[in-house]
Amino acid sequence: MNTDPRFKCLFEPVKIGPVTSKNRFYQVPHCCGMGHAYPKSVSAIRAMKAEGGWGVVCTEETEIHPSSDLAPALEGRLWEARDIPAFAEKTAAIHQYGALAGIELSHNGLHAPNMYSRETPLAPSNTLVDWGAPINAKAMDKTDIANMRRWYVNAAKRAQQAGFDIVYVYAGHDMSLLQHFISKRHNQRSDEYGGSLQNRLRLFREVLADTKDAIGDRCAIAVRLAVDELLGEDGISAEGEGYEIIASLAEEPDLWDVNVSGWENDSQTSRFSGEGYQERYISFVKKLTSKPVVGVGRYTSPDTMVRLISKGVMDLIGAARPSIADPFLPQKIEQGREDDIRECIGCNICVASDNTSTPIRCTQNPTMGEEWRKGWHPETIAPARHVEQILVIGGGPAGLEASRALAARGHEVTLADSGLDWGGRILNESALPGLSAWKRVRDWRVGQLEKMSNVEMYLQSEMSTANVIEFGATQIVLATGARWSKGHYKDITVFTPDNIMADKLPSQTAHVVIYDTEGFYIGALLAEKCARASIKTSYLTPAAMVSAWTVNTLEQHRIQTRLLECGVKLIFQQRLIDATSSGLEISCVFTGETQILDCDALIPATLRQPNDNLWHVLDIENSKDPIAASITRIGDCLAPTTIAGAVYAGHRFARELGETVDPDKPSFKREG
């Protein structure tokens, strides 16, 4: 190994109760949008992390009983003995690489609507479930509490039978019944389980003790606790009850996994927080306990990791999103290949997959979620059956990833882009407020390409039809991206999102209106940029909120707050009918009632058009005077998508080139 001496401490073993982690890299529990429905896919994801060098690899949150049914979300499910074999497959897959397997057992209380099981939801006090459903959760009586304690013990025993080394007692993210009992917001009881903090902590203490008694001699018992809910005096805080809980139970579990709550705080996007943003909330924990402490903060820098260990902030470096972006992060540090780490960009596309109950994906790592379905590995790719001369036109996310993966297969690759720098849309979007970390998508791929001897890269190279034909490649790949449409508005000044990203802004005396029907991040970022340039700005959308789809990336609330703080006027549930010199004609999405909105300049964030002119020209040439090359469009040039989608498209093209693909069958293995 060529491990940098500075990083040796990261590979020291850590004793966790009756088990020992081989190093300090700890993949904390995280969801993957597949859960109990796709167990083989989930096992393959966890196995890949173990192969990549993580000392501990945990599952997603796992339901312990039908009264904790999270449907339609797809999480783990360990209700009864018949569920054990699927988890045993996971632990076997993790153990084969010398990692410990952890499971986060959970009863989600008032967060579980039980839409599948149709059991009555349970909570400390009478309340609505927090799933947006018109269903009440029942205030638990003493029989319910006794049942709950038994359900936790039974689930823990099943977890031990399945081969897990670490079993969680979970009280985090405002999604756990145990946290609901601790919380004075949710617990209005007047018996011995309510009132004072020690009373509200009683059920947690009991479940923790029960679990230790049941399996603690063979399995480590971990507690995942939100030590701060970022609610001040209205919630648990690091200066208040969070501190008291740790002090009270300091030596009880075998490991403390500490974070902030809820999930939107714990997994903040890079748009609103940097690496290590949780440190100031959790740094007190290690001072109160001798037991190992793990925390998270989207850590990708080994220097930061060493600092956390040496300062005594934590004993194990926790990660969810960084382990998704690069399952081999620990191995790369151990081998002295820090420059090869795919650093997480904090975009939360992975989180969105769980929130939409769809297989996990990652902007940086296009193989994520495809380990079992397609047999993809993030670090290896099959050599080409026949080496080809390949011309890739366009150095954005699809073109960069296609070139990198094609070259890794052994093809001779030439990459050409008309711009002054690599990155395409990544360069433009990463310059918007808060998105600087997104440039890592470009930087990692350019860094990898520059190490490859079978790649030639040319900037400021506009490829004409004649150039393409003259080049003589056997494969031509068009990754020329897309452009934002101006629409068909003739009687008003129109700026496209591309104009704004290129710093071609309206006059400061103008009233600019962003019309957002895409609903992701661009519209709000354009509004923020204009407002920060002291331009009077309004945000118009047919949706009921700003950037509606970002509910799935856990940042919608922060985005809307940011626009309000910037003084942007928000206009919801209105469609743009027409734009004239008098202003914008808009209509209510419900009644159709129209009104005129004052406007000097319009920015429509509505539709992107593929930059596919070269494709159409080459297609005409092909019909008149066929050329030998095969021509393929990928990424936004084929169909505009997310950056994650464009990277995936480039990777998929490289994987499938020269392979037999049946267009009449799914391109992946199916479960069930």
Active site residues: 31, 170, 173, 266
φ/ψ of residue 439, rounded to 5: -65, -15
Calculate the alpha carbon distances from 536 to 60, 512, 542, 562 in Å. 45, 6, 20, 15
Could you tell me how many residues make up the chain?
Answer: 672
In what side-by-side order are the strands of the sheet with 583-588? Answer: 574-580, 583-588, 594-597
Question: CA 135 to CA 122: how far, in whole Å?
Answer: 11
Sorted by sequence, the CB contacts under 8 Å of residue 116 that are 6+ apart come out as 69, 71
233 CB neighbour count, 10 Å cutoff: 9
Question: CA 523 to CA 418: how far, in whole Å?
Answer: 26
CB 410 within 8 A of CB 662: no
Question: CA 478 to CA 618: how far, in whole Å?
Answer: 11
Calculate the alpha carbon distances from 97 to 101, 316, 379, 430 in Å. 11, 19, 16, 37
DSSP 9: G
Q: Which residues of 567-598 are buried (b: 16+ CB within 10 A; e: fewer)?
A: ebbeeebbbbebbeeebbebbeeeeeeeeebe
Question: CA 528 to CA 512: how far, in whole Å?
Answer: 12
* Burial bucket for residue 141 (CB in 10 Å: 0-12, 13-18, 19+): exposed
CB 610 within 8 A of CB 635: no
Sorted by sequence, the CB contacts under 8 Å of residue 666 that are 6+ apart come out as none
Beta 56-63 vs 25-27: how paired, if at all? Answer: parallel
DSSP 96: T
Residue that the structure tokens 């601790």 belong to: 182
Q: According to DSSP H, which parts of 167-320 are helical?
A: 177-182, 197-200, 202-215, 241-249, 263-266, 279-282, 302-310
Name the CA dihedral angle for 238, 241, 242, 248, rounded to a multiple of 10 degrees.
Answer: 130
Give the largest CA-CA distance in the chain.
Answer: 86
Q: Give which of 372, 266, 294, 364 is closest to 323, Cα–Cα.
A: 364
* Burial bucket for residue 197 (CB in 10 Å: 0-12, 13-18, 19+): middle
Structure tokens at 464: 């004409």
142 CB neighbour count, 10 Å cutoff: 10
In angstroms, the first-to-last Cα distance of the chain is: 42
653 CB neighbour count, 10 Å cutoff: 23
Question: CA 444 to CA 94: how far, in whole Å?
Answer: 28
Question: CA 399 to CA 380: how far, in whole Å?
Answer: 19
CB 443 within 8 A of CB 399: no
